Each structure stands twice: as structure tokens, then as C-alpha cells.
Amino acid sequence: MRQHRIRGTVTASVPEASNEGGERVRAKATFPRSARLLRHADFERVYKQGRRHFSASMTVFYLQRRQPDVAGAKAEIASGLRVGFTVGRALGGAVQRNRMKRRLREAVRLTRPSPGASADVVINPKKVLLSTDFEAVVNEVRQAFVVIDRKLAGRASGESIADSNGPRGRTPRA
């Protein structure tokens, strides 16, 4: 006769005493759906009409959103930043790509700027993002948001970046 040993851990919980005497559980900070870029058409519009900001471990595309002219249009879409992520297959397998997206999502959540400029932002990481220290990723995302805010504020105040620096912000050739 053969005996089988079962190894495992058994845990039990008592519903009434779950949080008594312990620390309060903090509310989970989220990345709300209204702050995300979700539609393919929106990504395409940002890529084709938007501007770019380059950093060591990512390229950030951004495009200022127009305020809706129609009174019945969705007004909640037009306020604040909406952020999307694209991670192509060339950057690795599914595990690596998902890890990149998780790191970027958390960095954006931690550095979320105050709702000021209405813009769509697409963050496209480079492969080096996986080996970069998380604090460096957070700093790069923060710096990208500062640059975006500064450039879009300049446009909103009447200063046209394209007029002063040529098409798409480049200096005109002589």
C-alpha cells in the first residue's frame, strides 16, 4: 500500500475580525478609463498629427485635443491628459511587453500632472526600459509631461511653435 503525503498551506479567515486591530487598508490608486487612450483612431491621429519628445528609454507622442464645438458633445473627454501605450513585438515576448506596460502605467499614475492641458499622449518604450531603474523611468515620464505641458501652454497663449521653428517644430533651413 502506497502512502501519499500532501504538502500545502492551509489558511483560514474570520470575516468579522479581518481588519480589527490591524492597519487600515489603503484605497488602491487606479488609472481610470477616462485617463486612458483606448481607440485605434485616437492612436493613429496622435502618430500622424502629433509631435514627439525623445528620451533615453521612450518616445512620447502628443497632440493637443480640440474642445468640442457642439454643446451636446462629450465634454468630459476634452479635459486633461489621456495616455496610451504601444509596445511592439520587436521589443520582446509577451511577458517583457506586459512588464514594460505595467512599469509605464505605474510611472504615469505616480506622476499624473494636474488636469491642465487637454492632450492625447502615446508612450512608445524602447527595449532598454526593462533594465532601467524604475526611479529613472518615473523621472523620464515626469520630464515628458513637463515638456508637453510647456509646449502646449505656449501654443494656447498664442505663441505658435510651428511659426517660430518651422513645420513640426524644426528649425527652418537657410
| Helix orientation angle between 94-110 and 134-156, rounded to the nearest 10 degrees | 60
Closest CA to 145 of 102, 171, 169, 109: 109
In the three-class reduction of DSSP (H, G, I as helix; E, B as strand; rest coil), residue 53 is classed as strand
In the three-class reduction of DSSP (H, G, I as helix; E, B as strand; rest coil), residue 86 is classed as coil
Q: Which residue has the higher pLDDT, 11 or 80?
A: 80
- At residue 167, the pLDDT reads 47
The CATH topology of domain 34-159 is Ribosomal Protein S5; domain 2 (3.30.230)
Mean pLDDT of 79-85: 87
Domain ranges for the chain:
34-159
**C-alpha torsion sign, points 97, 106, 145, 27:** positive
pLDDT bracket for residue 141 (50, 70, 90): very high
Cβ neighbours, 10 Å, residue 138: 17
- At residue 45, the pLDDT reads 95
Mean pLDDT of 124-145: 95
Closest CA to 82 of 40, 30, 117, 35: 35
pTM higher than 0.85, yes or no?
no
Above 60 in pLDDT, residue 80? yes
Q: Which residue has the higher pLDDT, 155 or 89?
A: 89
Question: For 91-115, what is each residue's pLDDT tens digit?
Answer: 999 999 999 999 999 999 998 776 6
- At residue 74, the pLDDT reads 52
pLDDT bracket for residue 174 (50, 70, 90): very low
Measured in degrees and rounded to the nearest 5, phi and psi for residue 64 equal: -70, 135
Q: Which residue has the higher pLDDT, 149 or 140?
A: 140
Above 50 in pLDDT, residue 171? no
